[in-house]
C-alpha cells in the first residue's frame, strides 16, 4: 500500500467519477485556483480508457496535490484525495 494515497469514497460508476472530476475542476476555477484547475483538466483529457491515460491523469492529480493542496479548501482537498485514490487504484489495479 502506498501511504501517499488514502482510500476514501467509493465511486459507483465511471460516470460518477468523471462527474466528480469535472465538478472539482469547476469549483477550483470558481474559487480562483485557475492553474490547479487547468492542471487537473489537462490530466483529465488524457483519460482514454487505457492504463497509460490513467497514469497521466494520476500524475496531473498528484501535481495539483503537491503544488496546490495546502491552499485548497477542505472540501476540495477531500475530493482531490478521493479522485487521486481512485486513479491510483485504476493504474495499479489494487485497492488501497
Taking only the tens place, the pLDDT of each residue in 2-51 is 546 566 668 999 999 999 999 999 999 999 999 999 999 999 999 988 88
The range of the structural domain enclosing residue 70 comes to 54-96
Q: How confident is the model at residue 95 (pLDDT cuts 50, 70, 90)?
A: low
Please report whether residue 79 resides in a domain. Answer: yes
Please report whether residue 25 resides in a domain. Answer: no
Between the alpha carbon of residue 47 and those of residues 3, 17, 72, 74, 78, the distances in Å are: 24, 12, 24, 26, 21
| 3 in Cβ contact with 94 (< 8 Å) | no
Please report whether residue 12 resides in a domain. Answer: no
Structurally, the chain folds into a number of domains equal to 1
pLDDT of residue 5: 58
Question: What pTM, to 2 d.p., does this model score?
Answer: 0.87
Cα separation, 66 vs 73, in Å, equals: 14
Amino acid at each position: 500500500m502506498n501511504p501517499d494515497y488514502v482510500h476514501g469514497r467509493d465511486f459507483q460508476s465511471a460516470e460518477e467519477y468523471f462527474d466528480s472530476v469535472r465538478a472539482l475542476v469547476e469549483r477550483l476555477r470558481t474559487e480562483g485556483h485557475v492553474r490547479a484547475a487547468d492542471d487537473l483538466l489537462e490530466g483529465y483529457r488524457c483519460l482514454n480508457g487505457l492504463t497509460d491515460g490513467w497514469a497521466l491523469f494520476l500524475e496531473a492529480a498528484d501535481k495539483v496535490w503537491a503544488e496546490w493542496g495546502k491552499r485548497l479548501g477542505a472540501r476540495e482537498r477531500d475530493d482531490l484525495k478521493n479522485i487521486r485514490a481512485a486513479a491510483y487504484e485504476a493504474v495499479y489495479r489494487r485497492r488501497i
